[in-house]
Amino acid sequence: NAGVTQTPKFRVLKTGQSMTLLCAQDMNHEYMYWYRQDPGMGLRLIHYSVGEGTTAKGEVPDGYNVSRLKKQNFLLGLESAAPSQTSVYFCASSYGSRGQNTGELFFGEGSRLTVL
Amino acid sequence: AQRVTQPEKLLSVFKGAPVELKCNYSYSGSPELFWYVQYSRQRLQLLLRHISRESIKGFTADLNKGETSFHLKKPFAQEEDSAMYYCALNSGGSNYKLTFGKGTLLTVNP
């Protein structure tokens, strides 16, 4: 099992460009999350999904859009990138049903995005 | 609103010394707390959760509702414990939406 895979791992964008980060998990998890990690700020939740076809806003959703068309994939989009979106982005997944869900999030390796 | 506070950005100890990483939380509901760890060049991973009340790699953490704290402790630090540690609070109920603290970078010196 690959677990949680994020692509790309590195990307440099110019202000105003758009891009999509892909997260794929092979653990049949219901829940998926996108976090951003910034120095001195810890991890902050951008958007999350509790199942295929559902998405919800997290703590810092502005400037991002997400889609969960397939259970195993969770896409994070930046329509018009800004320098403030320079960050390391982490995708995570977890079990869905209360009985299975221990609250453990399984993380990807991260995607480093630089916006010039 | 939920909040997780880790007051120390950096913590440096010598090998064999006790270590305590502090975590305080603010939450109106019944708290469910976790410690996650990120070793150099590795993925962020769960270290322990308060519900399981277990010791992982010699670390323990006790939930103190009176002091709203969930400090992580280890009696004898090892060099391999050097890592970034995050305290996290479940603020999403059954949806498990975790709010993370800002993290503490622990360095264990030889």
pLDDT in the model for residue B75:
96
Query: Residue A102 — pLDDT band, cuts 50, 70, 90?
Result: confident
**Tokens 């049903």, residue?**
A97
Fill in the amino acid letter for A111.
S
Per DSSP, the three-state class of A65 is strand
Taking CB atoms within 8 Å and a gap of at least 24, the contacts of B5-11 are B5/B101, B6/A42, B6/B85, B6/B86, B6/B87, B6/B101, B6/B102, B6/B103, B6/B104, B8/B104, B9/A40, B9/B102, B9/B103, B9/B104, B9/B105, B10/B104, B10/B105, B10/B107, B11/B104, B11/B105, B11/B106, B11/B107
Q: CB of B96 within 8 A of CB of B1?
A: no
Contacts of A58 in chain B (CB under 8 A): 97
Contacts of B102 in chain A (CB under 8 A): 40-42
**CA nearest to A98 within chain B:** B94
pLDDT in the model for residue A1:
66
Contacts of A42 in chain B (CB under 8 A): 6, 86, 100-103
Gap from A112 CA to chain B (nearest CA, Å)? 13
Cα–Cα dist B35/B27, whole Å: 17
Over the stretch B54-91, which tens digit does the pLDDT of each residue have?
888 999 998 998 999 999 999 999 999 999 999 999 87
Gap from A75 CA to chain B (nearest CA, Å)? 18
**CA nearest to A111 within chain B:** B43
pLDDT in the model for residue A112:
96
Burial class (CB in 10 A: 0-12, 13-18, 19+), A10: exposed
pLDDT in the model for residue B7:
96
- Average model confidence (pLDDT) across chain B: 92
**A48, A90, A98: residue with CB nearest B97:** A48
Nearest CA to A68 among A24, A103, A27, A109?
A24
Cα–Cα dist A60/A2, whole Å: 28
Higher-pLDDT residue of A50, B51: A50
Residue B95, CA atoms < 13 Å, CB-side half-sphere: 16
User: What are the two backbone dihedrals, phi and then psi, of residue A81, each rounded to the nearest 5 degrees?
Assistant: -65, 145
